[in-house]
Amino acid sequence: MVVVEAKSVSFNYGSESVIKNVTLNAFPGEVLVVIGPNGAGKTTLIKLLANIIKPSSGKIEFDGVDLRLMSKDEVTRIVSYSPQDNVIPSILTVYEVVLLGRIPHLSWRIGKNDLKITEGVLKELGLEAYAKKYAGQLSGGERQMILIAQALVREPRLLLLDEPVSNLDIRNQLEILDLIKRITKQRKITTITILHDLNLAVRYADKVAILNDGSIFAYGNPEEVLTPETLSCVYGVEAEVVRNNNSIQIIPIRALEK
């Protein structure tokens, strides 16, 4: 029942090898969180999974089918990708921005079903009151929520998010990640997201992939892979990992000398 699978995927920007022999998979109903230091290749990996760039070697399969054999339309109907630098035109209303997510499904005009799905997602995310507001009038947290709504109206089976909670306060971070987790379980979709905050990764990930210099350094349950040794090797920090019940909390202590 694997939805997405990267098999020995490598990718180069010119002569620079950015992704090196990455193998991972993710299942329906699962949140896979990709973490790693700046420049490790996280965004590049998400772009490969979104079919925006193609592997230099290895392959990415969706339900056992090589992404390269699928048409662009097929892929965009299955996969929703919300990039880090997603820009929302401030002159559009929230309703219009969310409806834009339906583009891959539209024929030459918007159908009743597209409007119904848009309204359903706005309701599900508690955004009905915002529908007529202009995007330019929203706070950072509200804008992020709208981008997630836009990704969801596409009714993806694979949701790819690049740092969906960066620049948000802690309440908004929890609200948005709670929502992502809930939707992933309820709709039985697969979500792969980049997060920077390791404690948020522990809290929301079913599985964590730690990227370091383009390679998978560790991959599995957050409690298993996030150890003081890993944090020291990958991030160059001394950290305490406190175990309580079935979870862990990461307390950074100091940056180690290079």
Q: Contact positions toward ligand ADP, by CB under 6 A?
A: 13, 18, 36, 38-44
Dump the DSSP string for the chain: ---EEEEEEEEEETTEEEEEEEEEEE-TT-EEEEE-STTSSHHHHHHHHTTSS--SEEEEEETTEEGGGS-HHHHHHHEEEE-TT----TTSBHHHHHHHTTGGG-SSS--HHHHHHHHHHHHHTT-GGGTTSBGGG--HHHHHHHHHHHHHTT--SEEEEESTTTT--HHHHHHHHHHHHHHHHHHT-EEEEE-S-HHHHHHH-SEEEEEETTEEEEEE-HHHH--HHHHHHHH-EEEEEEEETTEEEEEEEEEPP-
Nearest approach in angstroms of CB 194 to ligand ADP is: 7
Q: Which is nearer to ligand ADP, 42 or 203 (CB)?
A: 42
Q: Which is nearer to ligand ADP, 11 or 95 (CB)?
A: 11
Nearest approach in angstroms of CB 81 to ligand ADP is: 14
Q: Which is nearer to ligand ADP, 44 or 193 (CB)?
A: 44
Nearest approach in angstroms of CB 20 to ligand ADP is: 11
Nearest approach in angstroms of CB 139 to ligand ADP is: 25
Q: Which is nearer to ligand ADP, 43 or 199 (CB)?
A: 43
Q: Which is nearer to ligand ADP, 13 or 106 (CB)?
A: 13
Nearest approach in angstroms of CB 163 to ligand ADP is: 8
